[in-house]
Each structure stands twice: as C-alpha cells, then as structure tokens.
Amino acid sequence: MQVTPMSETAAPHEPIAPPPAGPELSGAFTSVVQARRSIRAFTPEPVAPAMLRNLIASARLAPSGANLQPGTFLQVSGEARMRLCSSLLTAFREGLAEAQDYSYFPDPMPTLLRRRQVAAARALYGAVGIERDDSAGRDRQFERNFCFFDAPVALVVTIARDMGTGCYMDLGMALYGLMLAAQAQGLASCGIGALASYPSLIRRELKLDDHHAVVCGVALGYADPDAAVNHAVTTRAELDSYFRVVA
C-alpha cells in the first residue's frame, strides 16, 4: 500500500497577516510554549482530517534556508500502520540492528549530556512506577514508541538524502511549529526518535525509495489526562549554562 506524503496533498496554505503584537498575544504564545510537553498516552478521540492538514500546512510556515522547505510528513493509518508497528515491535524484540540514516546522539555521550539523559529516563519511568533495575518494564514502556503511543495520528517524517546538514535544522523548526500549532488547538504530541533506528524497515513497509532518509516519528492526538505517564516532568538547563553576552 503506497503512503501519500501529506506535503503533496495538502491544500495551498493562504498567508495570513499576523495580528498586531501586544501583551495579550505574547501571553497566549507563552502559554502555548510552556504547556507543550511530550505526551505518551492519548484518548481515542480522532483528529479531524481538515485540522491535521491545517496543522501540517502551519508547520510548513517555518523558516528554511533559501526557502527549500525540506522534509516530508507521512501519515500512516489503517492496515499500513498495523503492519509497520508490528514489524517495528518484532525488530526491537529480536534485537535487530540497522545502520541509521543519520547520527542522532553524540558518540561517546559527554558526561553532562549523559546526566540529562539519565534524569529524563528517571522522570519517565518513575512516573509509571518502573524501577531502575526493571529492564523488562523499561522495554515494555519503550516499545510504545513503535506503536506511536496509540495516538490517533501517526506520522513518519523523512528528508531527502541529498539535503545538506542545515536542512535538518530547518526540518526541526517545522516539527516544532507542528507541535506548537497542535498545542494551540488543544492537541498534544510526542516526537519519536526511536523510529530512526529502523530506517530500512520503515522504507520497506511504506514502499519508499532509498532517497527518503527516515528522521523520526510523531504521535499526535488528544492527551489522556488520567495517564500517569503524562505526568512525567523533565527539567531544562539553567539559562546561564547556554546563554551569554559577548561584547
């Protein structure tokens, strides 16, 4: 079954003049940014197709070098989604290793970043009551990545292999735009970097040619407010650790 790229089917997005800036607009934007979190449990309520198309079109308003607008958003649904999730789960459980299309994490991981990674894992697994030495429990939770956390919308994000490294930055801005646009509409989302571990499998299942480099997945829908996993909270580095004034 051929999956159609959303970017090729979305209706033209008419530019809208931005509203005048002011305290009210600033406060609304700040609220959306602060409310956005990675959500890993969703209600079964569907997302209207028109709303999804508008969110994808809004994401494409992100800036990009020379206006190249890199990346493709593939909505995977129905039987295609079932097959993909099943194949990903099997690959993970069998310990299948694939060459990734790009390097996601630094190797080796610097000590400071490793501490952040560990702290994030503690927040996630602690929220669902999984102890540090419970490897089976951790695997069960991690497997949910490959089911898109049962979100009503499952997206696979790809980028053309001949795009430069900077285009990944541009695509990242579009992804963040998508997440903020979703948040502003009362939806929730979660990026799924785990999908980048199985690019060949994903291309095979979605009948994509090798020109598509697999970047990540995105789960999108309405957050389940009662799910313990959605109460995991990660911290951010202090401003002075990454911002300074050079005069």
Q: Could you tell me the CATH number of the domain that includes residue 213? A: 3.40.109.10
Q: Count Cβ neighbours within 10 Å for each residue of 110-136 and write b for 16 or more, e otherwise.
A: eeeeeeeeeeebeebbebbebeeeeee
Q: Which one, of 241, 5, 215, lies nearest residue 103 by Cα?
A: 215
Give bridge partners of residue 189 from the DSSP assignment: 38, 220
Give SS3 for 13.
coil
Predicted confidence band at 20 (pLDDT cuts at 50, 70, 90)? low
- CB neighbour list of residue 51: distance below 8 Å, 6 or more residues apart: 185, 187
In a domain, 163, yes or no: yes
Sorting pLDDT into bands at 50, 70 and 90, what band is 233? Answer: very high
| Whether the predicted pLDDT of 11 surpasses 90 | no
**Dihedral over Cα of 112, 113, 119, 122: its sign:** negative
Q: Residue 3 phi/psi, 5° resolution?
A: -95, 130
Q: Name the residue among 75, 17, 34 with its Cα closest to residue 219.
A: 75
Reported as a single tens digit per residue, the pLDDT across 90-121 is 999 999 999 999 999 999 999 999 999 999 99
Beta carbons within 10 angstroms of residue 52's beta carbon = 23
Q: What is the pLDDT of residue 91?
A: 98
The per-residue pLDDT for 12 is: 47
Q: Does residue 96 fall inside a structural domain?
A: yes
Specify if 4 maps to a domain: no
Is 120 within the bounds of a domain? no
pLDDT of residue 26: 79
Spatial distance between the Cα atoms of 192 and 217, rounded to a whole number of angstroms: 5
Q: Taking a C-beta distance cutoff of 8 angstroms, is the pair 238, 64 a contact?
A: no
Instruction: Kindly state whether residue 23 falls inside one of the protein's structural domains.
Output: no
Q: Please give the average per-residue pLDDT across 187-196, as a whole number.
A: 98
Distance between CA atoms of residues 247 and 150, nearest Å: 50
Host domain of residue 172: 41-104+147-225
Are 57 and 13 in contact by the 8 Å Cβ rule? The answer is: yes
Is 177 inside any structural domain? Answer: yes
Q: What is the pTM of this model?
A: 0.89
* DSSP state, residue 193: G
Sheet strands side by side (includes 72-75): 72-75, 153-160, 212-221, 188-192
Q: How many domains does the chain have?
A: 1
Query: Is residue 1 domain-resident?
Result: no
Question: Which segments of the chain does DSSP mark as H helices, in order?
Answer: 6-9, 23-35, 49-59, 78-93, 111-127, 135-143, 165-184, 199-206
